[in-house]
Structure 1
Amino acid sequence: MTTIYLIRHAEAEGNVFRRIHGQYDSCVTPNGRRQIAALAQRFAGIPVDAVYASDLKRTCLTATAIYRQKGLPLHRDARFREVGLGPWEDTPFGELERRYPAQLHAFSHDSYHWYVEGAECFLQYAHRFLAGLDDVVRRHEGQSIAIFSHGMVLRGALIELFFPGQDEGVSHSENTAVTELHWENGSYELISLNDATHLTPELSTLGRQNWWRGSRYLDFNMWYRDVAPEDAPLLAALGCPQTEPGDRVRIAMLRDTPAGMVATRRLDGDEGALLHLALLPEHRGCGLAAQLLGEAICPLRAEGAKHLRLLRPVTDKGTKRLLATYGITDGCSIVPTEE
């Protein structure tokens, strides 16, 4: 008998910045690193003979929970990547809610009928993963294998394997959740599904979110637009500093209401600058500030920036706390990486 542990990556930027990342190579958050430590403790006494992961940073870092402590090599395999989302990659969820509400709902709750031109459809990504799984299982017959992958592709593969045609057969999984399968005589058996009992409530990602609970529940996901001339009073209220031509200034919208703003500047070489981020008082304390940071980091990274510089001291305590959480302090700091 072969034992397979299918493990979702730890909490990553997209989960907190509320951006749909697909195969965008995002990084693990500080809370995700704590989840990895809890996962390592869970597997401390469990034998594992081989460790595989998708070739994206968030799965490879999560896999350290097992392969480092057991002295094993990590095998990277692109077949275990997340769904290829095409034009949706690194789009804020608030933008998708605004422009494609029916398609976004289908993505989470009706996978067989979700379709975006240029993206992988359900059967493509589910069968891509299952082909990789079959290869790995036959290569390690009679052993124990851990495979680190991503929420949607894992869900799709498990639906297709055990509940074909039944999208509701597999719930959405917590970050670092573990599914155990047994393989024998050419067939798979589901032993446990999406178990995350190694995480305390404080470490949970899904516990802080609502999108997976059904259509009656809403998250506060922002979208962003360019600044218009009539936004001058709003920018003044948000304390926006003087900007220059070429700076990227974005107004954060919560549905149809301005909620805040973020301003960045591309510097020479591999640096970018965070000029300002702020929320209106009525929108503070709701966990939205991390989304503003995502709107700063992700576009700068896409332009080749590896470092994020603060060009002026941060005085707001909440903003200071948020930036410090991600290792960003006065001076020059590295935009989060897994190196």
Structure 2
Amino acid sequence: MTTVYLIRHAEAEGNVYRRCHGQYDSLLTERAYQQLPYLADRFEDVPLDAIYASDLYRARHTAKAIADRKGMKVHVRPVLREIAMGEWEDKTWAILPREAPEQYAKWQTRPWECEVPGGERVLDTGDRVLGGLRQLAREWDGKSIAVVSHGSAIRGILCRVLGYEPEQIGQVGWGDNTCVAKFEFDGDTIRPIYWNDASHLPEDLSTFAKIGWTNSRGVPMSVQAWFRPYNPESAEDRALLIGFAREFYRNAYGSTDMLDEDAWMADTDAMAAKHDRAVTIGMVEDQPVALVRMNVCDESEPEIGKVGSFVISEDYRGTGLSGQILGQAISVYRALGKDYLCAYVAKNNARAHGFYDKYGFHNQGEVMKPEGLHDKMVKKIKVESVAEESEDFIWEG
């Protein structure tokens, strides 16, 4: 008999930025690094003979927290990866009902039937990863191992192991980040001992509790945005952006006295001309509520993507949109091969400093701008590959 502890990775970008991250590789969040010590504590006195993870960053670095505590190394296998989401990868969840309404409705109501072009079905993913677990159980017969995988994969596995029909997958629910399932593999028999257990996490570190996932199925109840490109030919869009510019200056500098609207719009048009996602408008349903303006024209530091402006309409502050506009910026600059994201924050703008501190930006010194003294806030966005971290992980592809 082999004991297998199956663990969902800690909180990752897709969970907070409300983006579809299947096999898209993304980083852990700041909260994840608060969750991980509790997960390591849980396993500190649990005998483990090996620790495995999928090759995606968020899974293998979750496993590393357990391994580091025990002085072990993490074995990495791609078969343990999350569901492949094909054409949906790194899109916002909120855009999918608009771009693929029939498929998205199926994902919401009959997920076992949903197969995104270029992707997998959830039960096929469960079968793939379960096959990987069976192989590990044979290799480690009579031992105990921990395996870190992903939410949809674990959901598919639980549907099979609990003996549910596909139509009953909703009864499995979603496990919170770092949740644990315990299985006993005995030949062809798999005995589930417990599952979706995140009792090691204090409530203030629960991802579900923090972002408003209020039911056992993990349905997000807070506001979600999709992003459309700014259209320089639209008078309505130009007026909208001027409104955002004024709001930005009032928030950052206390007034619009230093705002040169013509120059600001000329810079914005240049950004939009250089990249089709450099300037996007955050939408909640059909209402514009935010601006993500990326200064892709500033290439003074080739490895760093520069933020031009983040603005959220006053009525939508405090609704969870801040992470989503950051996620949009990271999506743009990561696709452009940037390793870091940088914003210049007015010295006295306490609200903005709180935002950047919350999301893991670090102050790299003061910079004088025409509007006054600013702090240069920088966040790493590069996702290292297994090959780049070969000293920390054992590849078993």
Deviation at 1:160, TM superposition (A): 2.0
| Further displaced range: 205-214 or 4-13 | 205-214
Q: Which residue of 1 aligns with 2:12?
A: 12
Q: Does 1:191 align with 2:193?
A: yes
Which residue is equivalent to 1:333?
378
Of 294, 299, 308 in structure 2, the residue corresponding to residue 264 of structure 1 is 294
Aligned-pair CA distance for 1:291: 0.4
C-alpha distance in structure 1 between counterparts of 2:108 and 2:54, whole Å: 21
Q: Once the 2 structures are TM-superposed, how far is the Cα of residue 161 of structure 1 from its aligned partner?
A: 2.6
SS of match in other structure, 1:63 = helix
| 1:98 and 2:98 correspond | yes
Residues 319, 107 of structure 1: CA spacing in aligned structure 2 closer, same or farther, 3 A cutoff? Answer: farther
- Distance in 1 of aligned mates of 2:213 and 2:359: 24
SS at match of 2:3: strand
**Deviation at 1:30?**
0.5
Q: 1:52 to 1:4 in 2, by over 3 A?
A: same
Distance in 2 (CA, whole Å) between partners of 1:66 and 1:215 is 25
Residue in structure 2 matched with residue 112 of structure 1 by the alignment: 112
User: How far apart in 1 are the matches of 2:214 and 2:18?
Assistant: 11
Instruction: Show the counterpart of 2:285.
Output: 255
Name the counterpart of 1:170: 172
Where do residues 100-249 of structure 1 align in structure 2 (5 Å cutoff)? 100-165=100-165, 166-207=168-209, 208-210=211-213, 218-228=221-231, 229=234, 230-239=236-245, 241=264, 242-243=267-268, 244=270, 245-246=273-274, 248-249=278-279
One-letter identity of the residue aligned with 2:244: L
1:285 aligns with: 318
Change in 2 beyond 3 A, CA 1:114/1:138: same
The residue identity in structure 2 corresponding to 1:221 is: Q
Q: Which runs of 5+ in 1 are unaligned?
A: none
Q: Distance in 2 between matches of 1:140 and 1:215?
A: 33
Matched to 1:320, the amino acid is: H
User: Which residue in the other structure is 2:354 paired with?
Assistant: 321
Is the Cα–Cα contact under 8 Å of residues 19 and 91 in structure 1 kept in the other structure? yes
Kept after mapping to 2: 8 A contact 1:109/1:167:
no
The yes-or-no answer on 1:86 pairing with 2:86 is yes
Q: Is the 8 A contact 1:275 1:312 kept in 2?
A: no
SS in 2 for 1:19: coil
| Count of residue pairs the alignment pairs up | 339
The aligned amino acid for 1:290 is: G
Give 1:218 shift: 3.9
Contact map agreement 2:9 2:62 (CA 8 A) in 1:
yes
The answer (yes or no) to whether the contact 1:307–1:332 under 8 Å persists in 2 is no
Shift in CA distance, 213/197, structure 1 to aligned 2, threshold 3 Å: closer
The superposition leaves residues 28-81 of structure 1 with CA deviations (integer Å, 9 ceiling, x where unpaired) of 001111111111111111111110000011011111221111122211011111
User: Once superposed, what is the RMSD of the aligned Cα atoms?
Assistant: 2.2
Distance 2:70 2:4 in 1: 16
**Distance (Å, rounded) in 1 between the aligned partners of 2:111 and 2:330:** 30
CA 263–77 in structure 1, closer or farther in 2 if over 3 Å, else same: same
Contact kept in structure 2, 1:251 and 1:258, CA below 8 Å: yes
Please report how far the alpha carbon of residue 324 of structure 1 lies from its aligned counterpart in structure 2 after TM superposition: 1.6
Shift of residue 128, structure 1, vs aligned partner:
1.2
Q: Percent identity?
A: 35
Deviation at 1:124, TM superposition (A): 2.6
Of 339, 345, 352 in structure 2, the residue corresponding to residue 306 of structure 1 is: 339
Which secondary structure does the structure 2 equivalent of 1:68 belong to?
helix
TM-score scaled by length of structure 1: 0.93
TM-score, with length taken from structure 2:
0.80
Distance 2:347 2:174 in 1: 38
Cα distance in 2 between the residues matched to 1:36 and 1:66: 8
Contact 2:26 2:57 in 1 (8 A): yes
Report the structure number with the largest CA radius of gyration. Answer: 2
Q: 2:170 corresponds to which letter in structure 1?
A: E
Preserved contact between residue 8 and residue 151 of structure 1 (Cα < 8 Å): yes
CA–CA distance in 2 between the matches of 1:96 and 1:279?
Answer: 22
Residue type at the aligned position of 2:292: V
CA distance in 2, matches of 1:215, 1:8: 14
Classify 1:286/1:312 alpha carbon distance in 2 versus 1 (closer, same or farther; 3 Å).
closer
